[in-house]
Amino acid sequence: MIGIAAAWIIVLLLGGGVALDRVLVNAVTRNFDNQLEYALTAMIASAEIDTTGEVFFNRPLGDQRFLEPNSGLYWQISGVGHDDFTSRSLWDRTLEQATPHDDLETHLYDSDQFSGEGLRMAERSVILPDSEVKWTFQVAQSREGLDAQVSEIRSILVNSFLLLALGLIGMAALQTLYGLWPLRKIRKAIGEMRNGQQKRVSEPMPNEVTPMVDELNELLDHNEKQAEEARRHAGNLAHALKTPLTVIMNSATAKADDLADTVIRESGVMRRQVDHHLARARAVGRRGHAHSRSRVWPSLQAVERAVGRLYKHVRIDIDGDQEAEVSVERQDLDEMIGNLVENAAKYGGGSVFVTVETGDEFVELLIEDDGMGIPAEERQRIFDRGARLDTGKPGTGLGLAIVRDVAEIYQGNVLLEESEDLGGLMVRLCLPKSQVQLTS
């Protein structure tokens, strides 16, 4: 930032300095030329033709330098066929014309005809009264004074703009360092957090970086929650596996006759526990994904076909908003809907009705069956892992637990109610509505 500011300041000052130099040098040169033109006009006004046809001045020119040899200010009048009429300051020298011209305009130019003395010349051709000769009037002055003024102006400009550039670059550097100084504090605070000296960026910061600090602290909170959730998840899995492993170890130690059956049974229990925790871990990993959104209707249709093949005697009807979208990964949505519809088909009386309703913030899926339902006092306990009310049918008791855990991971929930239409159980699955529409 400092380098870019310095480069931009230098470019602007160079451009401004060159432009200002041109303006001032032109102004000084124009003033110098005006003095030459004034002297040239005075010469023309004083010039007359004598009886011999030669030019002379009817009054002397006012500047004393025209009378001092090599004074740096000279005049000369030239005509074809006549001797040059020169000032005493030229002594034994004469002024040469630039390129010949026939116009009567005043010409201003630089000349190096005198060795070691640059000249600024004003030249004009005039036809005087009583003469047919075109006389060339010339006034020349040494450029030493003009060059000295130009050098002084440029020296002042260079020094002034150099000081201005240093001041502006220094100010830009101070502004940049001061503006970015809070980031050093944030870096120091992050280092202290990494070393365990503090948990959050708690030092007050300027308003410009406060939003970033807030986001950083929220990110730390989120990571801590995920880490705590992972630790709790690992503890739950270890606890769930401890009992089956103990049963297997006891049977193996006692050399029980049914050891093989025990291993198979308890291994199945462990596998189901592992599947449940893996499903939950996958949902946790996908929860914060910005593109986690799925259409509900295709997922319902896929589950309907799959469950219909398993329970051919069950009729499954779906209705509602076919354009509903939720902020859930498709795999997790399929798993939740699949568990709920399969439970309704397994424990119902042969009819399952699924309704999709879209609200302002949530999409609700109502899964109803015509079974015996679940008593109100048992509806909370049924969400516990391994809890089953009907032990006469195969199952693990993990279906509703998985649905609840995954729904809560996505900031949703599951409620058990009584179906008014079918008389059995109604499961109300609430999932966050997707705020960004998917393109087909």
| Residue 18 vs residue 235, higher pLDDT | 18
Among 63, 13, 59, residue whose Cα is nearest residue 39: 63
pLDDT in tens, 361-416: 999 999 999 988 888 888 777 766 444 444 444 443 456 777 888 888 888 999 99
Per-residue model confidence (pLDDT) at position 438:
52
Read off the pLDDT band of 202 (50, 70, 90): confident
| pLDDT (average), residues 92-121 | 86
Per-residue model confidence (pLDDT) at position 238:
76
Does the structure show a pLDDT above 60 at 290? no
Among 428, 408, 410, residue whose Cα is nearest residue 418: 428
Q: How far is CA 410 from the centre of its chain?
A: 31
| pLDDT (average), residues 292-308 | 90
CATH 3.30.450 maps onto the chain at 2-150
Q: From CA 268, how far away is CA 51, in angstroms rounded?
A: 142
Residues 2-150, CATH architecture: 2-Layer Sandwich (3.30)
Per-residue model confidence (pLDDT) at position 259:
83
- Residue 89 CA: distances (Å) to CA of 39, 98, 145, 427: 15, 20, 17, 119
Bridge-based pairing state of the strands 315-320 and 351-358: parallel
Per-residue model confidence (pLDDT) at position 386:
45
pTM of the entire predicted model: 0.49
| pLDDT (average), residues 334-338 | 89
Per-residue model confidence (pLDDT) at position 387:
44
Q: Are 364 and 357 in contact (CB under 8 A)?
A: yes
| Residue 220 vs residue 438, higher pLDDT | 220
165-169, 196-200, 211-215, 288-292: range with highest mean pLDDT: 165-169
Q: From CA 389, how far away is CA 352, in angstroms rounded?
A: 19
Per-residue model confidence (pLDDT) at position 161:
94
What letter does residue 433 receive in the DSSP assignment?
B
Does the structure show a pLDDT above 80 at 101? no
State percent of the chain over pLDDT 90. 40
Does the structure show a pLDDT above 50 at 240? yes
Among 245, 18, 54, 222, residue whose Cα is nearest residue 131: 54
Does the structure show a pLDDT above 60 at 287? no
**What CATH number labels 294-432?**
3.30.565.10
CATH 3.30.565.10 maps onto the chain at 294-432
Per-residue model confidence (pLDDT) at position 280:
65
Token readout for 210 is 């406060």
Q: From CA 170, how far away is CA 6, in angstroms rounded?
A: 9
| Residue 239 vs residue 130, higher pLDDT | 130
Per-residue model confidence (pLDDT) at position 394:
41
What letter does residue 361 receive in the DSSP assignment?
S
Among 33, 32, 37, 77, residue whose Cα is nearest residue 55: 77
Does the structure show a pLDDT above 60 at 145? yes
Q: From CA 140, how far away is CA 138, in angstroms rounded?
A: 7
Token readout for 1 is 């930032």
Among 302, 295, 242, residue whose Cα is nearest residue 273: 242
| Residue 8 vs residue 131, higher pLDDT | 8
37-67: burial string, b at 16+ Cβ within 10 Å, e else = eebbebbeeebebeeeeebeeeeebebeebe
Per-residue model confidence (pLDDT) at position 83:
87
Per-residue model confidence (pLDDT) at position 383:
66
Among 402, 429, 400, residue whose Cα is nearest residue 414: 429
What letter does residue 91 receive in the DSSP assignment?
T
Does the structure show a pLDDT above 90 at 436? no
Indicate the average pLDDT of the chain. Answer: 85
Per-residue model confidence (pLDDT) at position 427:
92
pLDDT in tens, 258-284: 888 888 888 877 887 777 677 666 666
Among 328, 337, 276, 332, residue whose Cα is nearest residue 307: 337
